A and B are shown apart, each in its own frame.
Chain A
Amino acid sequence: MPLPALRAGEVRPTDGSRAHVVSRAYQHDLNGSGLERGAVQVEVDAVHLHFGGVVAIEEVSLEVRQGDIHAIIGPNGAGKTSLLNCMSGLYRPQRGAIRLHRGDGDPVDLTTTRPSRSARLGVARSFQNIELFRHMTVLENLLLGRHVHMRHRLAASLAWFGPARRQEIEHRDLVEEVIDLLEIPALRKLPVGALAYGLQKRVELGRALCMQPAVLLLDEPMAGMNAEEKEDMARFVLDVNELAGVTTVLIEHDMGVVMDVSHQVSVLDFGRCLVTGEPDVVRSDERVIKAYLGAGSEPMGAGT
């Protein structure tokens, strides 16, 4: 008998037994996508990006489905971050399109929207080198993740009057939920600049989550972390994906993590997309082994 489809908040145990609802009850839906699980959400279509004579991305096409953790791997300089920058509107590719499907109306081409507009469409991201607002507290950083969902009126702000005050309280509710999810309640009022590296990465993930993103772009969320921090971060990425159903595009170098958590893996090399597929398929692909994994890397999943 086929197992019933999962709803948001449900997780299927690995032993194949019945699905059970995870104890954490979300008051807020962190997923900003209106699509069905499994529908194509981001369509990268023959994107080509070059800086002067240097080709960063060459005719890359791939599809990210709603609800997936889609890993992008590849050697340094392969164009992973450039591709993410194209998705969030920081780079303008010379050719190609990145279509974001939203469930209602036509897809939007992310290559021609400004970053602040992409954010409104539900594209959230974290950066490889943490880009937090260092002088603000964790709470303020997370509240800034709510910026696109707030209404900003000058007069009300200056007077701390009605709507301005009310919405601060209203949005605090969701922010507190993210704080709980990421297990950082004690850090709430600390300035971000004073936090340890691993915690800053966590706050950056939190800021993106507060946007209730349709797509979450994570650029090496586990770089430079020790095993324990990595484990935590992997757990959060999985939580966000499984409990909230947020589509995640993940750049990561740790093959153990990538193969464990992702549903789909795309391999970039010299700006080209070598292959996209499930972890097991990618792992045994000749071209991938040659370009990135290296021969004789049999004990996969051990991590580095």
Chain B
Amino acid sequence: MATATGVYHSTYTADLALRHTRSEHARLAIVAIALVILPFLATPYWLTVVNQIGIAAIGAIGLNILVGYTGQISLGQGGFLAVGAYTSGLLVGDLGLPFPLAMVGAVLMTALVGAFFGLPALRLKGLYLAIATLAAQFVIIWVVRNWDVVTGGTAALAVPAGELFGWTVRGDFTWYWIITGCAAVAALAATNLFRTGLGRAFVAIRDQDIAAEVIGVDPLRHKVLAFAISSGFVGLAGALTAHYRLIVTWERFTLEVSILYLAMIIVGGLGSVAGSIYGAAFMILLPAWIQQLGQSVGGTFPALSRNLPAVQQAAFGLVIILFLVFEPRGLARIWQRMKDYIRLWPFRY
């Protein structure tokens, strides 16, 4: 129970709640209302951007479960996204499944593939594991490019527009609701995971793997499980991409994508669900901002607008370096500090 003098719980149930104070509930309500109003106000361009953020947020939450919470570095994100996108696309295109079912199939398939490529984690740690997961990235993309019969090889795979009860699901506006809904469910599921024993076991492996083993956490089982759960989320993101864009090409799932996602969770905050969302938003918005900046100052500095892609790349690198140096715990930590400051303002402590 929250009173003017502090938060006092009289039951464990109350203590376990995600939100305790009135202002926390109010904040959630404001965010929810903003998310409902947003698609009515946004221009088509910004709606596309927001949808991209939603999909990236799901992928980033997935990666954060593995990297931020369980401490297993993965460079295979792009490959797992590809598995999700192709599985879902093919299930609809070739087998004619309704797209929600295909997405569930994609989640399960990606989880399975993720668990398989997570097997090296049983023996490898840190940098060595990163290199081993790099194999997932390259093997999956290689399979996609060479398994012409199924994936269409290097050509793009066209995905039929999703249909549900005779209603065709297409357009940014409609997909906004689906993507935002999926992202909200993903965020809630990940949050729930880490307030139960299973999630704690993952964090235990990250913090001190020998001690985790000695208190009874089976490292083999939990590492593979972490890979599977993480990949499940990533598979969902991949499947959404496929149905939202209606086209799947291997070029969308290269190593660069894996690194982009790593950047998202570093900038957003490792080991934070909210941070994954902030990071996804930041890394998707950054190129959009720079593009706008280039357009607005292009007249004065033509060199800038001509070299826009290079500027975007440089900004990308700079942002990662700045975060690693000044706030390794990312945007989530910055937001936390702001909240702490506001709560105590105008007092120092």
A residues whose Cβ falls under 8 Å from a Cβ of B:
88, 90, 114-116, 118-120, 124-125, 127, 131-136, 140, 143-148, 150, 152-154, 156-160, 164-165, 167-169, 171-173, 207-208, 211
Contacts and interface: CB of A to CB of B under 8 A. Distances in A.
Contacts of A211: 215-216
Contact of A157 (B12, B199, B203): B199
Given A125-B214, A159-B192, A169-B16, A133 B197 contact: no
Contacts of A133: 203-204, 207-208, 211-212
15 contacts: A88-B214, A116-B217, A119-B215, A132-B207, A140-B203, A144-B200, A144-B201, A144-B217, A145-B215, A147-B217, A148-B216, A152-B196, A152-B197, A159-B189, A168-B197
A192 to B, nearest CB: 9
Given A133-B207, A135-B207, A160-B195, A115 B214 contact: yes
A150 B197 contact: yes
A169 B12 contact: yes
Contacts, number: 115
Interface of B: 12-13, 16, 189-190, 192-193, 195-201, 203-204, 206-208, 210-219, 225, 229, 271
A131 B16 contact: no
The interface residues of chain A, by DSSP majority, are classed as helix
Contact of A124 (B193, B198, B215): B215
A143 B211 contact: no
Contacts of A164: 192, 196
Contacts of B206: 135
A134 B208 contact: yes
B210 A131 contact: yes
B192 A158 contact: yes
Contacts of A169: 12-13, 16
A127 B213 CA distance: 13
Given A134-B207, A134-B208, A160 B216 contact: no
A168 B195 contact: yes
Contacts of A165: 16, 196
Given A133-B204, A154-B225, A165-B16, A116 B213 contact: yes
Given A154-B225, A168-B197, A135 B271 contact: yes
Contacts of A152: 196-198, 201
A104 B206 CA distance: 36
